[in-house]
């Protein structure tokens, strides 16, 4: 059945525009995944839930040209026909052949719910009781091959992650990651909170994406409650989203320069980021917008002095980032480190599901602000930034392009900011109905799936960070590079540990 026919058979889902849902059988689950993959669709998220009757349901969210389709499968009803010993405990069909990024998500479901897919990789993902010494990393055999283990403990405040390099000399033959060391119980904590309290937790799933996650959560809740957000609040949310995008890009551009031995870049971009953080605090009362977006709109309105501070800062950023881009482009030392490093060709990016900022640097032309816009992006008309080079240089260039485009959008928002209230009351949402929020955050698409229980508390909230899709691609990006280039390549992706360790 074609992708269009799957959408025709589905029904609308409250929350983000263009999201639909369909309950399927095991055969339909497999057929739909194959159909979306062959049509160039994307796997946005894969998660599980237990119904009040304790039945396990597995969900998969796929993106294609008509929109987003969420399939749900009763795992107990999926008859997995296989005599293989590995499938003896399987309760549903794995999606890894259509979407390789599903492997780690399926392993996480197995750890959390004790229910396995047909995927041959049975290793634990979030259970670390045996430590790295007992974990069966994939070995590379051959003369002169040796392993370099890095982590899980790293310098500074970075969260833990284990990286196992198989190398000959300094050339990397293989990298295998092991993450999930600090399983914080965020999804379980959601179930102990009311729908209003949970916004604060959503914003802290991955703090560098506070606006993305809090907006996606609010979008799902408001959809369930049939609450209409005022136009002024929608514009202010978009302003906050672009502020967060620019904050992160400025920080990354400085860090990437520093990783390539250009400390001047770190100093200059750190200075610009500090100016932006101060202007953000003047406008919204916080340097990092952890509590700016609330159900029904915004926690506070934007006053004239706040708007003036942002306008002045945006003008300065446009001017000075343009100067710094010229320096980065002309610096032979930077070009020598950036060009060709960490290459992910467009064909490989498409096969592995590379998404967001990193995907757009490898020919993956997908941006929810354009392809599935929520208000007010349909009115603002954002422009996609895309390249096909796929190396560190391309990921740096995308950041520069997106800084300028975000500055343009923020000017447009400040010029056209509608009058009216910045917040409305959100009525109690119905019980046991699925709501989905979907926002193009700075790193890529953020999805929040929300179900509220009958007691007004959350039954299930699954926040999905695009790092789930992109961490496995980093393993490929480092192949044939040298070990000392890994920090640079890793930073060019800048993926979240916290966002997928829930």
**Which stretches does DSSP call E strand in 151-264?**
162-168, 171-178
Residue 310 belongs to some domain of the structure: yes
Angle at 51 between CA 48 and CA 55, to 5 degrees: 80
Average pLDDT of the residues in 468-483: 97
Asked if residue 399 lies in contact with residue 357, where contact means CB atoms within 8 angstroms, the answer is yes
Quick one: pLDDT at residue 79? 47
Residue 490 belongs to some domain of the structure: no
pLDDT exceeds cutoff 90 at 454: no
Quick one: pLDDT at residue 132? 61
Query: In this prediction, what percent of the chain has a pLDDT beyond 90?
Result: 83
pLDDT, greater one: 90 or 321: 321
Q: What is the pLDDT of residues 225-273, one digit of tens each?
A: 999 999 999 999 999 999 999 999 999 999 999 999 999 999 999 999 9
pLDDT exceeds cutoff 80 at 16: yes
Q: What is the C-alpha separation between 403 and 114, in angstroms, rounded?
A: 43
Residue among 319, 302, 487, 463 nearest 403 (CA): 319
Average pLDDT of the residues in 206-230: 97
Asked if residue 233 lies in contact with residue 423, where contact means CB atoms within 8 angstroms, the answer is yes
- Asked if 268 and 408 sit in the same domain, the reply is yes
Asked if residue 453 lies in contact with residue 472, where contact means CB atoms within 8 angstroms, the answer is no
Q: How many domains does the chain have?
A: 4
- Asked if 325 and 345 sit in the same domain, the reply is yes
DSSP track, 44-70: EEEEEEE-TT--EEEEEEEEETTEEEE
Domain C-terminal end among 85, 117, 149 = 117
pLDDT, greater one: 159 or 436: 436
Q: What is the C-alpha separation between 292 and 203, in angstroms, rounded?
A: 9
Residue 335 belongs to some domain of the structure: yes
- Asked if 335 and 380 sit in the same domain, the reply is yes
- Asked if 251 and 395 sit in the same domain, the reply is yes
Least confident of 182-196, 269-283, 382-396, 474-488: 182-196
Average pLDDT of the residues in 423-450: 97
For the four alpha carbons of 216, 219, 224 and 225, in that order, the dihedral sign comes to positive
- Asked if 173 and 199 sit in the same domain, the reply is no
pLDDT exceeds cutoff 60 at 343: yes
Q: Is 72 helix (H, G, I), strand (E, B) or coil?
A: strand
Residue 497 belongs to some domain of the structure: no
Query: In this prediction, what percent of the chain has a pLDDT beyond 70?
Result: 96
- Asked if 273 and 333 sit in the same domain, the reply is yes
What contacts 381, CB < 8 A, 6 or more positions away? Answer: none
As given in the structure block, the two tokens for residue 421 are 């209230």
Average confidence score pLDDT of the chain: 93
- Asked if 273 and 420 sit in the same domain, the reply is yes
Q: What is the C-alpha separation between 67 and 35, in angstroms, rounded?
A: 15
User: CA dist 68 to 10, 20, 347, Å?
Assistant: 11, 6, 23
Residue 412 belongs to some domain of the structure: yes
Q: How confident is the model at residue 277 (pLDDT cuts 50, 70, 90)?
A: very high
- Asked if 460 and 379 sit in the same domain, the reply is no
Q: What is the pLDDT of residues 355-375, one digit of tens each?
A: 999 999 999 999 999 999 999
Average pLDDT of the residues in 381-395: 97
- Asked if 98 and 189 sit in the same domain, the reply is no
Residue 198 belongs to some domain of the structure: yes
User: CA dist 306 to 58, 176, 226, 418, 454, Å?
Assistant: 45, 46, 31, 16, 41
- Asked if 271 and 405 sit in the same domain, the reply is yes
Least confident of 86-90, 195-199, 449-453: 86-90
Least confident of 132-136, 150-154, 399-403: 132-136
pLDDT exceeds cutoff 90 at 456: no
Distance of CA 385 to the CA centre of its chain: 17
Average pLDDT of the residues in 411-415: 98
374: domain CATH number? Answer: 1.10.645.10
Q: What is the pLDDT of residues 83-133, one digit of tens each?
A: 444 455 678 999 999 999 999 999 999 999 888 999 999 998 887 766 666
Domain C-terminal end among 424, 451, 484 = 424
- Asked if 328 and 212 sit in the same domain, the reply is no
Q: What is the C-alpha separation between 495 and 216, in angstroms, rounded?
A: 19
Residue whose pair of structure tokens reads 């025709």 in the numeric block: 8
Give the residue numbers spanning the domain of 9: 3-117
Quick one: pLDDT at residue 77? 54
Asked if residue 161 lies in contact with residue 181, where contact means CB atoms within 8 angstroms, the answer is yes
- Asked if 270 and 285 sit in the same domain, the reply is yes
What contacts 157, CB < 8 A, 6 or more positions away? Answer: none
- Report which DSSP code applies to 86: G
């Amino acid at each position: 059945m074609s992708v269009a026919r799957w959408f025709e058979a589905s029904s609308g889902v409250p929350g983000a525009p263009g999201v639909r849902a369909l309950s399927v059988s095991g055969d339909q689950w497999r057929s739909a995944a194959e159909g979306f993959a062959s049509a160039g669709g994307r796997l946005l998220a894969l998660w599980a839930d237990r119904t009040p009757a304790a039945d396990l349901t597995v969900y998969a969210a796929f993106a294609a040209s008509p929109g987003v389709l969420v399939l749900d499968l009763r795992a107990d009803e999926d008859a997995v026909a296989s005599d293989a010993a590995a499938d003896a405990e399987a309760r549903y069909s794995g999606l890894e052949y259509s979407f390789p990024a599903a492997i780690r998500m399926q392993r996480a479901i197995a750890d959390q719910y004790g229910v396995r897919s047909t995927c041959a990789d049975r290793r634990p993902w979030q259970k670390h009781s045996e430590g790295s010494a007992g974990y069966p990393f994939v070995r590379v055999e051959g003369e002169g091959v040796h392993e370099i283990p890095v982590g899980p403990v790293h310098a500074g405040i970075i969260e833990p992650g284990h990286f196992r390099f198989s190398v000959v000399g300094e050339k990397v033959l293989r990298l295998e990651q092991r993450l999930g060391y600090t399983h914080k119980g965020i999804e379980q904590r959601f179930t102990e909170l009311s729908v209003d309290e949970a916004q604060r937790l959503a914003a802290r799933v991955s703090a560098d994406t506070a606006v993305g996650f809090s907006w996606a959560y609010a979008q799902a809740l408001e959809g369930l409650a049939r609450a209409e957000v005022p136009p002024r609040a929608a514009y202010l949310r978009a302003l906050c989203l672009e502020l967060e995008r620019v904050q992160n890009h400025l920080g990354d551009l400085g860090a990437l320069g520093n990783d390539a031995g250009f400390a001047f870049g770190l100093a200059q971009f750190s200075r610009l980021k500090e100016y932006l953080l101060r202007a953000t605090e003047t406008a919204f009362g916080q340097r990092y917008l952890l509590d700016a977006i609330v159900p029904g709109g915004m926690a506070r309105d934007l006053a004239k002095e706040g708007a003036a501070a942002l306008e002045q800062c945006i003008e300065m950023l446009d001017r000075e980032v343009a100067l710094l881009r010229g320096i980065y482009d002309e610096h032979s030392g930077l070009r020598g480190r950036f060009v060709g490093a960490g290459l992910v060709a467009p064909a490989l990016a498409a096969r592995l599901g590379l998404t967001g900022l990193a995907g757009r640097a490898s020919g993956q032309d997908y941006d929810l602000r354009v392809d599935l816009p929520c208000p007010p992006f349909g009115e603002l008309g954002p422009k996609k930034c895309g390249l096909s080079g796929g190396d560190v240089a391309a990921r740096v260039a995308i950041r520069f392009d997106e800084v300028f485009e975000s500055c343009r959008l923020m000017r447009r928002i400040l010029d056209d900011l509608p009058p009216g209230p910045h917040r409305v009351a959100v009525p109690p949402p119905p019980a046991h109905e699925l709501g989905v929020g979907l926002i193009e955050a700075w790193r890529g698409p953020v999805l929040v799936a929300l179900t509220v229980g009958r007691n007004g508390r959350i039954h299930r909230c699954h926040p999905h960070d695009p790092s789930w899709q992109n961490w496995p691609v980093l393993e490929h990006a480092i192949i044939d590079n040298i070990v000392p280039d890994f920090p640079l390549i890793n930073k060019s992706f800048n993926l979240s540990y916290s966002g997928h360790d829930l």
